[in-house]
Chain A
Amino acid sequence: MADARKRLDAMATRPIVGAPLKHDSAEKHVAGEALYIDDIAEPAGLAHACLGLSTIAHGKLLALDLSAVEAAPGVIAVLTAADIPGENDISSTHKHDEPVFATSDILHHGQPHFAVVAETREQARHAALLAKASYEEAPALLDVAAARAAGSDLVTEPLKLERGDVGAALAASPRRLKGSMAIGGQDHFYLESQISLAIPGEDQDMLVLCSTQHPSEVQHMVANVLGVGAHAVTIEVRRMGGGFGGKETQANLFACVAALAARKLKRPVKLRPDRDDDMVITGKRHDFVVDYEIGFDDEGRIHAVDAVYAARCGWNADLSGPVTDRALFHMDNCYFYPAVRARSEPLRTHTVSNTAFRGFGGPQGMVGAERFIEEVAYATGLDPLEVRKRNLYGGEGREITPYHQPVEDMIAAEVIDELEHVCDYRARQEAIRAFNRQSPVIKRGIALTPVKFGISFTATWYNQAGALVHVYTDGTVALNHGGTEMGQGLYQKVAQVVAQAFGIGLEQIKITATTTGKVPNTSATAASSGSDLNGMAALDACETIKARLVAFAATHWQEKPEAIAFLPGRVQVGAREIGFVELVKAAYMARVQLSATGFYATPKIHWDRKAGRGHPFYYFAYGAAAAEVAIDTLTGEYKVERVDILHDCGNSLNPAIDKGQIEGGFIQGMGWLTTEELVWDEKGRLRTHAPSTYKIPVASDRPRIFNVALLEKAPNREHTIHRSKAVGEPPLMLAISVLHALSDAVASVGDHRFCPQLDAPATPERVLDAVDRVRALAEAAR
């Protein structure tokens, strides 16, 4: 009894929401007991599928001889487009431009044109290589420059954002400059590759266990391909081994092929591509070329920006529309442009279809914005951080974004000032300049860059979520919602919300796998929105149940409803305190419903894409990072030595999980801007299709000094779940500080008089090229 009391007291003093609790699966992760789809006990009769891929990037498929594939050991069936009972299309934006299997047109190297099903995965992989395809090859447009030169079409309608008269403002600007920046793509490199396990049922039912961020979309795609109603298809996912946007639409193919094979064979079928195939087949972050013209003055104030954002979008539209839109939504970062015009150019190329990736275009837009700042700084001779500050939103008439939404919650200036002070920025900058003067080979650099990231899906209808909460008569709770768990800790955060709502312990809550059978019509777990949306929906379900319990208790114990409260570990009913279990048992006996759905739709937001106007974001998340690097001017090698971060999570639901998102997002962003380089050869073959050639950061790449702090006492001004802020994507863009620290180090070889114009990813080769370029400029100016 005393123990129980103590526990209750502890709970009372330490609220569950806001506590730095461990990930709900942490103990299973470290023991190898967390089940991913390939770990689940295999159903009897399981067969394995493997995709057959095109060996050219562009052309016509003239003939496909699959006889050797069919004859290979262990092969049960070979599937082509002819085997599809429904529609041969998995276009997520319903443009009908993404066949499951290519039939005639081959549009990228590695495009699937058939699947083989065999008794073992190894047999299927061997058999798939035996296909004999003949092609009529056509020239392949592989990048932005080639697509532009050939007048390639756009995969989707471009977007234009415009405010003020840019032409006039540029003409009136005291100074102007033009430039161009290339920004590379990125492979998601989720550690668990794509996987689906399809299990056929009676009638035309199909259950697919799928590693996806978007079960509802997979459900619709499978139904569409099989030619059945959505009600016949159930998609389930307990956890993914990483997603990062790469499993938002890219899981569709694998789920559909597995389901197609399962339907045809009436056997369960698993499809897990080899890592190399996964990287060759699936979409990646968009590469961009940003062409810009900036008008500014000698004080470093920007007067006007006119920029075009051309993106390699790959062979189909996929999410390239919303991704390139979001690049434009972030072409301002934290800066006010008095006159602005931004246009997107989503170009079709003969490469994998670029897709969602953490930040969803926002990072590329923001990298462009920081380049504008840097150009102005070097042109005026001002310190880049000073130029950043002078151009921040804020002040009379300086709060309207290029999309005409006012920035109402601007705190970037405070965040920058605090970080600058805490990390001793100015003194270190001085020390670095002094170091560089006496170090001929190694040069160091430092930069501080801010982040402002808009939170909400710009597809407004996506900003909804559902939840399902069951309270059992022993007081335990089963929690389900539309959000998926990919490591970001969403399940844990929502469970914390539910535990606090009922005043119960987390051990009383069972977090159940996301399934379209429990919560329908869900949105992708994307756009950082997972806990904002699903936390609110789950809370709504809890409030429904609590309202019923309160009404019941008021009657049962003859108290006013106001006298009933759910406290940590107990329920107050007037003067008495009873256990939660006692209450639900009594309620059950009185035939009170102890299960409820919950729903949430984000308020305030609207967006008119044609007009380029609206209020697409509910709020903004902020942060800033200061990075310090050393470069070797002989080889271009570098090291990120120290990073300080101050990030805004509002009132964090779980500061430990949020810190993990900040650190992990930062390192992932750093990888994108430094060593992660996607290389296609002249035939359109991806040469970096495995970790041996595609280099994501390893442990020693993280800065040895890595100070990460959450902004304190900064509740979200909007009424989000417990006043928290979304944290999945914004920290990725803190890594732009690394690109600019490298640039600062490069600039030192020209005495900081020339803008290094360092493109991304800043591989050692690009750093060395920039060093040579700046040296040549300095030499010429002598």
Chain B
Amino acid sequence: MRESVRFLLGDELVEITSCDPTRTVLDWLRLDRRRTGTKEGCAEGDCGACTIVVGRLDGGQLRYEAINACIRFLPTLDGCHVLTVEHLKAPDGTLHPVQQAMVDCHGSQCGFCTPGFVMSLFALWLNERAPSVQRIEDALAGNLCRCTGYEPIIAAAQRMYGAERERDRFVAGMPAIIAQLKALVDSETISIGDGACQFYAPATVGALAELVDTHPQATLVAGATDVSLWVTKGMRRLDPVIYLGRIDELRAISDEGSHLRLSAMANQIAVREALAGISPQLDEMMRRFGGEQVRNAGTIGGNIANGSPIGDLPPALIALGATLVLRKGGERRELPLEAFFLDYRKQDRQPGEFVEAVLVPKLPADALFHISKISKRFDEDISAVCGAFYLTLDQAGRISEARLAYGGMAGIPKRAKAAEAVLLGRSWDDAAVAAAITVLAGDFTPLTDMRASAGYRLKVAGSLLRRFLIETTAPETGTRVAGLLAEAAHG
């Protein structure tokens, strides 16, 4: 047991020996350290005003990620290099190229969101050399600005690459930071608390299994992109908290031939990379998964175990026929992912059990696959409806296998069994889609809420099947509004 948390704040080694497990990094920065450059805009990870950059060791390399300080728990920073907006200026007062570009392009008006934008841009600057406009937009999807309309910020993101990079002190300083972080790595389980609530962070899966078994009532925390809101908005106290982020083997992704094995703590960026090989549409959906900060923090295991009716990965994985690996102590059990979701926010997870991995079959060459996410706003929004479809056709062109999985249509991610049954044995054509659509209303009784009406959800659930048909049988027909401009420019 190690009864402390250690990390680097800039070049200062911070050691914390007592801490509320759910103290947010933002509150710690602003209240305890009076570093007020990092702002609170929403306290739920949706506006990006609190963006900081956190470096962590990843296979001996240093990986810097933009994250939301408002929904990151302080003790989860163990072993990390933390950079805030105050670190960017050089000691002589010279602005960092990212900051200078923002000034030169008139990228700030009220200035409140600006530190967050600067840090998101700084992460992009550290990691990528010549991002496309699309990539810049993706990197900024988790940052809201209410004043500028974004145009000057995009311009700044293009201008910031002017300065020489190798001489930059953050780039030049990486080897030293790697050495310092390596010195902090150990295999001890961290145990820290404030006297009332306790935080554990094991370093191995074995230790995790033991801890979860000992504390079946514990809240398991992965990326905390949802759990943190129980604290910042729900005002709940969590005790104990078991954090999974220190376990390297839980981030592993491996190709097992017939399928991919995605460990629970693989973040959405890594998941996107892995799934892109399965389907370009999956890649596009994952591109729009949360904002960049949430994609960096959020994990596949969290997205599933959380049991949200609208988490976007489960419909995709259900359609692909994924299998969930659950572990309790040394015991493992596997079940089809769809069977894990029992009812609204209720899953088939026993006390002491945790999600260890997801097995995702590769798409057979002759299978048809489709995923669409429909939301009020295109980026960084929760789906009104998410539809993921998998079909195989037999020699005669008849549908031999069908999995139609939807998010947003019920209390859980759910298959449209009646529509699937209608499709089986039919040709994949207009008549089949029309027949499937007529029974969708029997499969689902969606809700009307702030995202969409029940009527819209049902209508769109059918429209997505139509879109699937058009895209698989008449691919020359334009069916997506995004990317149309690029086509037009070439046409």
Contact = CB atoms under 8 A, between A and B. Distances in A.
A710 interface: no
A397 B260 CA distance: 76
Closest 6 CB pairs of A and B: A32-B37, A487-B110, A241-B112, A29-B111, A667-B149, A487-B109
Contacts of B112: 36, 190-192, 241-242, 487
Contact of B148 (A31, A663, A677, A701): A663
A704 B133 contact: yes
Given A699-B143, A700-B141, A701-B377, A667 B110 contact: no
A95 interface: no
Interface stretch (B165-173, B263-271, B463-471): B463-471
A35 B27 CA distance: 17
B481 A638 contact: yes
Interface extent on B, as a size class?
Answer: 35 or more
A699 B150 contact: yes
B479 interface: yes
Interface string A678-713: 010000000110111101111111101110100000
Contact of A660 (B84, B133, B152, B377): B152
B452 interface: yes
Interface string B12-34: 00000000000000010010001
B379 A635 contact: no
Contacts of A15: none
A191 B41 contact: yes
Given A698-B141, A700-B378, A632 B481 contact: yes
Contacts of A188: 146
B58 interface: no
Contact of B109 (A638, A664, A701): A664
Contacts of A635: 372, 374, 460, 463-464, 467
A702 B485 CA distance: 13
Interface stretch (B42-50, B318-326, B331-339, B341-349): B42-50
B109 A191 contact: no
A488 B109 contact: yes
A736 to B, nearest CB: 16
Given A33-B37, A129-B235, A698-B150, 5 more contacts: A32-B85, A488-B109, A635-B463, A698-B140, A698-B380
Nearest to A27: B103
A656 B379 contact: no
Given A26-B103, A663-B149, A765-B452, A442 B481 contact: yes
B49 A768 contact: no
Interface in A187-242: 188-193, 239-242
Nearest to B86: A32
Contacts of B86: 31-32
Interface string B109-128: 11111110010000000000
13 contacts: A30-B99, A30-B108, A36-B39, A38-B30, A242-B110, A634-B464, A639-B481, A641-B488, A663-B152, A691-B144, A693-B382, A695-B377, A699-B136
A32 B44 contact: no
Contacts of A129: 235
B274 to A, nearest CB: 24
A275 interface: yes
Interface in B440-491: 449-453, 456, 459-460, 463-464, 466-467, 470, 477-482, 484-485, 488
A126 to B, nearest CB: 6
B429 to A, nearest CB: 16
B248 interface: no
A732 to B, nearest CB: 11
A116 B352 CA distance: 40
Main secondary structure of the interface of A (DSSP, over half): loop
Contacts of B109: 23, 487-489, 660, 664
Contact of A189 (B104, B146, B464): B146
A582 B439 CA distance: 88
Nearest to B98: A30
B449 A687 contact: yes
Contacts of A38: 30, 36, 40
B353 to A, nearest CB: 29
Contacts of A660: 106, 109, 147-149, 152
A691 B466 CA distance: 32
Contact of A29 (B47, B89, B114): B114
B459 A768 contact: yes
A664 B148 contact: yes
Given A632-B481, A660-B147, A191 B452 contact: no
B214 to A, nearest CB: 29
B118 A30 contact: yes
A55 interface: no
A737 to B, nearest CB: 14
A704 B151 CA distance: 9
A10 B230 CA distance: 58
Interface extent on A, as a size class?
Answer: 35 or more
Contact of B470 (A242, A441, A663, A765): A441
A440 interface: yes
A486 interface: yes
A611 B400 CA distance: 76
Contact of A664 (B49, B149, B372, B453): B149
A630 interface: yes
A309 interface: no
Interface of B: 27, 30, 34, 36-44, 46-47, 49, 84-86, 88-89, 95, 99-100, 102-104, 106-115, 118, 133, 136-138, 140-141, 143-154, 232-233, 235, 372, 374, 376-382, 384, 449-453, 456, 459-460, 463-464, 466-467, 470, 477-482, 484-485, 488
Contacts of A642: 485
A22 B106 contact: yes
Contacts of A657: 106
Contacts of A243: 110
Given A441-B477, A763-B376, A691 B146 contact: no
Nearest to B480: A632
Interface in A27-57: 27-36, 38-39, 41
Contacts of B463: 634-635
Contacts of A641: 484-485, 488
B479 A31 contact: no
A22 B103 contact: yes
Nearest to B471: A441
B103 A30 contact: yes
Of the listed residues B86, B100, B112, B464, the one surrounded by the most CB atoms of chain A closer than 10 A to its CB is B112
B111 A765 contact: no
B147 A192 contact: no
A706 B150 CA distance: 11
A615 B484 CA distance: 48
Contact of B43 (A191, A275, A698, A768): A275
A694 to B, nearest CB: 8
A637 interface: yes
B452 A693 contact: no
B485 A704 contact: yes
Nearest to A42: B34
A27 B94 CA distance: 10
Contacts of B232: 274
A513 to B, nearest CB: 15
A642 B153 CA distance: 18
Contact of B46 (A241, A667, A677, A691): A691
Interface in A637-663: 637-639, 641-642, 656-657, 659-660, 663
A668 B114 CA distance: 17
A30 B452 contact: no
A764 to B, nearest CB: 6
Nearest to B140: A699
Contacts of B470: 441
A697 to B, nearest CB: 8
B85 A31 contact: yes
A703 B481 CA distance: 13
Contacts of B95: 27, 30-31
B144 A189 contact: yes
Given A31-B85, A634-B479, A700-B378, A275 B44 contact: yes
